[in-house]
Amino acid sequence: MGNRMFKKILIANRGEIAVRIMRTCQEMGIATVAVCSDADRLALHTLEADEAVPIGPAEPSKSYLDIDRIVDAARQTGAEAVHPGYGFLAENADFAERCEREGIVFIGPPAQVIRNLGDKLTARRIMQAGGVPIIPGMIDAAENSTAWAAAAERIGFPLLVKASAGGGGKGMRIVERPGDLAEACRAASREAAAAFGNGTIYLEKFLPKSRHVEFQILADGQGRTLHLLERECSIQRRHQKIIEETPSPALSPELRAEMGQATVAAARAAGYVNAGTVEFILDPTGRFYFLEVNTRLQVEHPITEMITGLDLVRHQIEIAAGRPLSLIQDEVRGRGHAIECRIYAEDPEQHFMPSPGRIAYMREPAGPGVRNDCGVYAGCEVPVEYDPILSKLVVHAETRELAIRRMVRALTSYVVLGVRTPMDFLLDVLASAPFQAGETTTDFIAAHFAEWAPDRERMELAAMAYAADAMAPRARSAGPVAAANHPGPWHTLNHWRL
Amino acid sequence: MDWKLRNKEETIVLGVEPAGDSGFIATFGDREAHVVFERLSEHRLRLIVDGRQTSAFVVETAEGKAVMVEGRTFFLADDRAPQMRSRSGTKAGPRTVTPPMPAVVTQILVAAGQTVEQGQALVVVSAMKMDTTLTAPYDGVVTRINVAEGEKVAPKQVLVDIEPGAAGASEDGADGQAS
């Protein structure tokens, strides 16, 4: 490919990430193609693109997950490359392979790398061979309870049963006692088969009170592989991340360098190309273990962009176009502290039940060091069929303490009306002593916020606002605003004639 | 004038006495606050409460008003308005089988004529990748299923009609439906 750059890219995704990718394409002078389901005809990503191709009904399997439709849309519009975003087809090796066959550049790693790293047991074997520490446990599948029991004895209890073919907590079980092992394995396998079409499970040591720290990879496929520092993603609820930050409060410069080296080793061992993320588990003693590789651009990539000043999507596109990385590891420096809060259309007072509907009004936060990657607008409909993420609110400041204050200011001024959002919950998490102290382990929410209820402090203010709203006249719906107290010339020159 | 506003199970009594064109004295119990207000747009109000300025954002919803102040959201309904009901939590036990949010029917677990017990699973609905199982609010017999799998449904829509009656009292040969 050499120096030629794409003229047109199709973004095979929706919502905030599709909008974010299009922004970089616009800056690079690359034409953008959006794909939209029937529910997204007027979605922000559809409206922002140079062209939009309808790809079917709202249901993801009939639209955003339909490889044929996506490929057809690319051919129809002449898009030379496809950016898959995150979720949907981003880590689908079949899709990457189909693109390769059709002569469309898939902006991501090669299909075989996706396939290898998508299977956790295969990934563990690759990492072990590459000298990357892995969580003690099985590296080959076993099918019967005798083999599981033998492995369990080696590993020790408590242990984790995990699905090889997928994540998100599905097919995962903690086992405390040997007596529970066989049934846990069977149940996990059934769940994995239902969720991923593959019931293969394996056993790993369970590491409680650990942190979830991930490192960003950038590899150009021409010999240069770098890491772009870490992200701490321990604030999770039901295996879903809600707050992420960088740098991690738990990493000393030495540990960072060591984990960075392991990251590069992991990427090389896997033959990685383009952007990706290596996830590690960091136990309370400071030992780290490989968890998995996410072969895509991640939701929380903006915090890395804020501290490094790099545009990851731009690098992805350039690598995919065959350009070697001109960046070297020593040039990668983090500056200051960044935090991201995911803003979902969900109700924290109703156990975070999704809250679809029409957004009646929105006011996004702004100001120095504030970035809101938003996929919706006032007047748009948040559909029921997809993940309810509205935006990612990201702040950057000189220190962690200042970043927390900046996030508090930003959340306080972020207004969304029409769907419920968890700003008040997030404010309470950020204000909490454990968060302020950086005690962000993976059981944070369960340990400190299991039974959250909003505080009533501003209830009276809300009541006054209710009354004021009823009493304040609404503006006239159409026509110019009536002149204030001083009439203009058109009112005073009554009988003027030529 | 007294306003009675409800937020979930709590009632707030707010005394309002106009003071000037765009102001009032707000009274909560024995405390008072002086409020000056101005509408900035359809959804935004400027408030000055005892000299401190703030903005409030309000939208009408089916169950009252959603008010956002300083990052906090409150749903308030006028208690005096007829037929107004507070936002029911999922446990409040509506007497009808209705989804708590707009969703898609993914599974219908019972059939017309079937005897059901209180708490028995009837219909699974899905929204934003989350499944919710709707259960029978009382013992009875399913008289009609009003929806089909794949259909989009909304709150207040009755998905399954159940004729109340003690379990086992029906004449169908329903085997004990222990759930």
Provide the whole-model pTM.
0.83
Contact A361 B42 (CB under 8 A): yes
**Cα A58 from Cα A489, distance rounded (Å):** 56
Mean pLDDT across A162-179: 90
Among A51-60, A190-199, B124-133, name the one with the lowest average pLDDT.
Answer: B124-133
pLDDT(B171) > 60: no
Nearest by CB: A466 against B44, B67, B152:
B67
Q: In what order do the strands lie in the sheet with A201-205?
A: A173-175, A159-163, A201-205
Give residue A156's identity as a one-letter amino acid code: G
Mean pLDDT across A450-469: 91
pLDDT of res. A495: 55
Number of H helices, E strands in chain A: 17, 22
pLDDT(B174) > 60: no
pLDDT tens-digit profile of A318-328? 999 999 999 99
Contact B65 A466 (CB under 8 A): yes
**Cα A39 from Cα B150, distance rounded (Å):** 15
**Cα A139 from Cα A146, distance rounded (Å):** 16
**Cα B107 from Cα A58, distance rounded (Å):** 18
Mean pLDDT across A52-56: 98
pLDDT(A39) > 50: yes
B105 within 8 A of B134, measured Cβ to Cβ: no
Task: Give the rounded percent of residues in chain A with a pLDDT score beyond 90.
Answer: 83
User: If you write DSSP's letter for every residue of B9-73 in order, what string do you get?
Assistant: TEEEEEEEEE-STTEEEEEETTEEEEEEEEE-SSSEEEEEETTEEEEEEEEEETTEEEEEETTEE
Q: Label residue A441 by pLDDT band (50, 70, 90).
A: confident
pLDDT of res. B85: 40
- Give this complex's ipTM: 0.83
pLDDT of res. B166: 61
Q: In what order do the strands lie in the sheet with B115-116?
A: B115-116, B140-145, B160-164
Residues of A in contact with B58 (CB under 8 A): 417, 465-466, 469
**Cα A441 from Cα B81, distance rounded (Å):** 47
B67 touches chain A (CB under 8 A): yes
Q: What separation in angstroms does the CA of A434 have from each of A115, A274, A366, B164?
A: 39, 36, 27, 50
pLDDT(A1) > 60: no
pLDDT(A18) > 80: yes
pLDDT of res. A488: 53
Mean pLDDT across A24-42: 98
Task: Give the rounded percent of residues in chain A with a pLDDT score beyond 70.
Answer: 95
Residue A486, C-beta contacts closer than 8 angstroms, at least 6 positions apart = none
Shortest distance, CA B148 to any CA of chain A (angstroms):
16
A138 within 8 A of A144, measured Cβ to Cβ: no
pLDDT of res. A489: 57
Give residue A489's identity as a one-letter amino acid code: P
Task: Give the rounded percent of residues in chain B with a pLDDT score beyond 90.
Answer: 36
The H or E element spanning position A288 is strand A288-294
The nearest alpha carbon in chain B to A455 belongs to: B72
Mean pLDDT across A482-491: 50
Contact B56 A465 (CB under 8 A): yes
Q: Is the dihedral of CA A441, A442, A447, A450 positive or negative?
A: positive
A300 within 8 A of A314, measured Cβ to Cβ: no
Residues of A in contact with B12 (CB under 8 A): 459-460, 463
Mean pLDDT across B5-29: 92
pLDDT of res. B101: 77
Residue A474, C-beta contacts closer than 8 angstroms, at least 6 positions apart = B39, B42
- Which residue numbers of A are catalytic? 296
Shortest distance, CA A13 to any CA of chain B (angstroms):
16
**Cα A2 from Cα A430, distance rounded (Å):** 47
Nearest by CB: A468 against B35, B66, B128:
B35
Burial class (CB within 10 angstroms; exposed 0-12, middle 13-18, buried 19+) of B111: exposed
B45 touches chain A (CB under 8 A): yes
Q: Label residue B176 by pLDDT band (50, 70, 90).
A: very low
Q: Is the dihedral of CA A185, A187, A188, A193 positive or negative?
A: positive
Longest C-alpha distance within chain B, in Å? Answer: 73
Contact B39 A475 (CB under 8 A): yes
- Tally Cβ neighbours within 10 Å of residue A485: 4
Shortest distance, CA B172 to any CA of chain A (angstroms):
35
pLDDT tens-digit profile of A337-393? 999 999 999 999 888 899 999 999 999 999 999 999 999 999 999 998 999 999 999
B44 touches chain A (CB under 8 A): yes
B4 touches chain A (CB under 8 A): no
pLDDT(A77) > 60: yes
**Cα A118 from Cα A266, distance rounded (Å):** 14
Mean pLDDT across A482-490: 50
Domains and CATH numbers, chain B: 2-78 (3.30.700.30), 103-164 (2.40.50.100)
Residues of B in contact with A474 (CB under 8 A): 39, 42
Half-sphere exposure of A363 (CA within 13 A, CB side): 18
Q: Which token pair is A275?
A: 């952007």
Contact A475 B57 (CB under 8 A): no
Residues of B in contact with A384 (CB under 8 A): 101-104, 127-128, 152
pLDDT tens-digit profile of A207-249? 988 888 999 999 999 999 999 999 998 788 877 889 999 999 8
Contact B71 A414 (CB under 8 A): yes
The nearest alpha carbon in chain B to A388 belongs to: B128
Residues of B in contact with A353 (CB under 8 A): 90, 100-101, 130, 132
Q: What separation in angstroms does the CA of A353 have from each of A387, A389, B169?
A: 12, 13, 37
- Tally Cβ neighbours within 10 Å of residue A173: 23
Domains and CATH numbers, chain A: 8-107 (3.40.50.20), 136-205 (3.30.1490.20), 211-448 (3.30.470.20)
Mean pLDDT across A448-454: 86
- Residue ranges of B 81-140 with Cβ closer than 8 A to chain A: 89-90, 100-104, 127-130, 132
User: In terms of Cα–Cα distance, which of A249, A226, A421, A241 is closest to A338?
Assistant: A249
Q: Which token pair is A104?
A: 């469309």
Q: What is the mean pLDDT of chain A?
A: 92
pLDDT of res. A38: 97
pLDDT(A439) > 50: yes
The strand pair at A8-11 and A81-83 is best described as parallel
Q: Where are the beta strands (DSSP E) in A55-193?
A: 81-83, 105-106, 159-163, 173-175
Contact A473 B39 (CB under 8 A): yes
B155 touches chain A (CB under 8 A): no
User: In terms of Cα–Cα distance, which of B112, B108, B111 is closest to B153?
Assistant: B108
Residue A456, C-beta contacts closer than 8 angstroms, at least 6 positions apart = none
pLDDT of res. B60: 93
pLDDT of res. A498: 53
Q: Which token pair is B21?
A: 């064109």
Q: Label residue B88 by pLDDT band (50, 70, 90).
A: very low
Burial class (CB within 10 angstroms; exposed 0-12, middle 13-18, buried 19+) of A13: buried
Q: Label residue A456 by pLDDT band (50, 70, 90).
A: confident
pLDDT tens-digit profile of A112-150? 999 999 999 999 999 999 999 999 999 999 888 899 999
pLDDT tens-digit profile of B29-86? 999 999 999 999 999 999 999 999 999 999 998 878 999 999 999 999 998 765 434 4
pLDDT(A88) > 90: yes
Shortest distance, CA B176 to any CA of chain A (angstroms):
27
pLDDT(B177) > 60: no
pLDDT of res. B89: 38
